[in-house]
Chain A
Amino acid sequence: MLPGKNFDLIIFLLTVAGMYLFMRKAEGGRLPNIRSIPLLEELDSIIGRAAEMGRPVHYTTGYGGLHDEWAVMCVAGLAILSKVAEMCGKYRVWLQFTCFRGYLVPIGQDILKTGYEKGGAPEMYTPDMVTYVGEDQPAYIAYIMDYFMTERPAVSMVFGAIQAEMNNILMQAARVNAISLAGTPRLYYQGKMALMCDYCLLGEELYVAGASITSDPVHLGCIEAEDWFKMGIIALLVIAAIFTTLGMENVLQSLINW
């Protein structure tokens, strides 16, 4: 064992074991009860307002796709898309889904079709509700800036792995006075989302919203395991605080670098 990595390995093995146990528990049927996400409750009234205004709803999952390390965020974004599609069917609102990767086009079309059927308006669904503009960011930004100014959607939703195009989407949504919703764990955009959006999912809330919609046991089990891990970190912080006040912080430091 390399010096200074033993404690590191112990924490790693504890985490892996904990997550495996909680995943097994969740798959066994005992799902954790996740606290309510304010944004998901408000979705219904927001899309109702869009129906009154008679203008479309715009939805996008951003630059990240299913093949790179941002796949988890994109999967959560697609889960929320299925719920939004169902509500758009219920209120008979046009839902425009702009996707960034070629392979998201068929996936998006299936999600919208089933959503509109569940919502009770299967005849309203048409394949060209899903637009694909090519894999490049400037073309994607150009399309979005043009779409917002011409169509003037009532609601702008952005959930998933967003990159620089988040600035342009928030900018255009503000310029057309659309109701703005956004959610991404990427730290760089938390400030902009918190300021510009009516409702937003900060940090890990996107994963929780996606998992609670699909009630996927694997993710729910992981979320509960992560909560217990954070509880462990808080315990370590309390112990560290006690040690430093007693003047023994090198004890903890040596344990961590053991």
Chain B
Amino acid sequence: MSFIKQKEFAIILFVLPLLFLLFNYYTGIAEPAASELINWGSYLWNFSMIIGTYSLFRVHGTNIAKKGKDWSYSVVIFISFVTYFVASYVSPDVFKLILDYIQTPIMLTIWMGGFATLTMVFRGARTKSYLGVLLLLGSIFTVLRMAPIGPLIWPGFHTIGMWINDVPNMAVMRAITIVMGVGLIATLVREILGKETHYLGD
């Protein structure tokens, strides 16, 4: 019984499905079991999401109970969660209304993408070295290649833009894809050997 409590048992439970899926990938044996195990992954992910929700409510619950900082906004979180969750099961048309007229504008605007772009362009373009100038040239030609107005001003923008996209960008993206692939395998090796146990949360 004590062995089950050890961390090693959890590492074994991590390594076994991993090796089985790799074995199935290379040999193609036990195909139905492999696809069942992959589906298990997404269903367990659902359960872990419910736990994440519970931990967030604990944080905001104590915040309300202790009347901590901005506790009134924690109340807003609870109210909006309950109304939206109940509406999704009880009355679908209220759910659609909230989705179309409240959640959609929030998701459309909350990340402030448009303004972040402008500040970066306006403030960031102060290049200190020739590398920065190269970066700006690359982005200017890319924007003019993609904007329909670019070729109207000078058709050369499209040809140079395409060249930048096809040669330097292709080379670097290929190299970075290779580097990322190697990084993935390195992480896998560390996890198989039990040196990397982030999933145990320690």
Q: Which residues of A contact B (CB under 8 A)?
A: 1-2, 5, 8-9, 12, 15-16, 19-20, 23, 66-68, 71-72, 75, 102-103, 134-138, 141, 145, 164, 167-168, 170-171, 174-175, 185, 187, 191-192, 194-196, 198, 203-204, 207, 218, 222, 225-226, 229-230, 233
Contact A226-B187, Cβ < 8 Å, known A1-B26, A167-B112, A174-B123: no
B179 within 8 A of A: yes
In whole angstroms, what is the CA distance A198 to B131 when docked? 12
On whether the beta carbons of B139 and A222 are closer than 8 Å, the reply is: no
State how many angstroms separate the Cβ of A17 from the closest Cβ of chain B.
Answer: 9
- Can you spell out 30 A-B residue pairs with CB atoms less than 8 angstroms apart? A1-B26, A5-B26, A12-B22, A15-B182, A15-B185, A19-B185, A19-B189, A23-B189, A135-B52, A137-B110, A138-B110, A141-B111, A141-B112, A164-B111, A167-B113, A170-B120, A175-B123, A187-B176, A187-B180, A191-B135, A192-B120, A192-B124, A194-B132, A195-B132, A195-B135, A195-B139, A196-B124, A204-B179, A207-B183, A230-B182
Among A15, A68, A170, the residue within 8 A (CB) of B189 is A15
Interchain CB contact under 8 A, A222 and B186: yes
Contact status of A195 and B56, CB under 8 A, knowing A167-B112, A222-B186, A230-B182: no
A166, closest chain B residue (CB): B116
Q: Which residues does B use to contact A, with CB under 8 Å? A: 22, 25-28, 52, 55-56, 59-60, 106, 110-113, 115-117, 119-120, 123-125, 127-128, 131-132, 135-136, 139, 176, 178-180, 182-183, 185-187, 189-190, 192-193, 195-196, 198-199, 201
Inter-chain CA distance A198–B128, complex, in Å, is: 9
- Of the candidates B110, B119, B132, B189, the one having the most CB atoms from chain A within 10 angstroms of its own CB is B189
If A2-B26, A226-B183 touch, whether A174 touches B119 (CB-CB below 8 Å) is: yes
Which of B27, B117, B125, B183 is most buried by chain A, counting CB atoms within 10 A of its CB? B183
Q: Which residues of chain A come closer than 8 Å to B196, judged between CB atoms?
A: 71-72, 218
- If A167-B113, A195-B136, A230-B182 touch, whether A203 touches B120 (CB-CB below 8 Å) is no
Instruction: Give the residues in chain A near B139, CB-CB below 8 Å.
Output: 191, 195
Residues of B within 8 Å of A145, CB to CB, are 112
Assembly CA distance A66 to B182 (angstroms): 21
Is B120 a contact partner of A218 (Cβ separation < 8 A)?
no
Contact of B26 among A9, A103, A171 (CB under 8 A): A9
* CA of A175 to CA of B119, assembled, Å: 8
- Measured in the bound complex, the distance between the Cα atoms of B183 and A103 in whole Å is 26
Whole-angstrom distance between the alpha carbons of A167 and B196 in the complex? 30
Interface of B is mostly: helix
Report the bound CA distance from A164 to B110 in whole Å.
Answer: 10
Q: How many whole Å from B176's CB to the nearest CB in chain A?
A: 6
Further contacts, 17 of them, CB under 8 A, given A19-B189, A68-B198: A1-B26, A1-B27, A8-B26, A15-B182, A23-B190, A67-B198, A135-B56, A145-B112, A170-B116, A174-B120, A196-B120, A203-B179, A204-B179, A218-B195, A222-B190, A230-B179, A233-B178
Residues of B contacting A185 in the complex (Cβ-Cβ under 8 angstroms): 180, 183
The distance in angstroms between the C-alpha atoms of A170 and B127, with both chains bound, is 15
Chain A residues whose CB sits within 8 angstroms of the CB of B60 once the complex forms: 134
Q: Would you give the shortest CB distance from A7 to chain B, in whole angstroms?
A: 11
Q: In the complex, what residue of chain B is closest to A207 when comparing beta carbons?
A: B183
Best-buried of A16, A102, A171, A229 by chain B (most CB within 10 Å): A171
Least Cβ–Cβ distance between B65 and chain A, in angstroms: 16
Pick the contact of A168 from B116, B136, B185, B201 — CB < 8 Å?
B116
Write the chain A residue with the least CB distance to B107: A138
The residues of A that contact B27 with a CB separation of less than 8 Å are 1-2
The complex places the Cα of A63 from the Cα of B171 at a distance, in Å, of 30
The docked-state distance in angstroms from the alpha carbon of A255 to that of B190 is: 29
Q: List, in ascending order, chain B residues with CB within 8 A of A66's CB.
A: 198, 201
Given known contacts A2-B27, A102-B59, A187-B176, A12 and B185 CB-to-CB distance under 8 angstroms: yes
Q: Which residue of A lies closest to B178 (CB)?
A: A233
Cα distance A19–B188 in the bound complex, in angstroms: 10
Minimum C-beta distance from A93 to chain B (A): 24
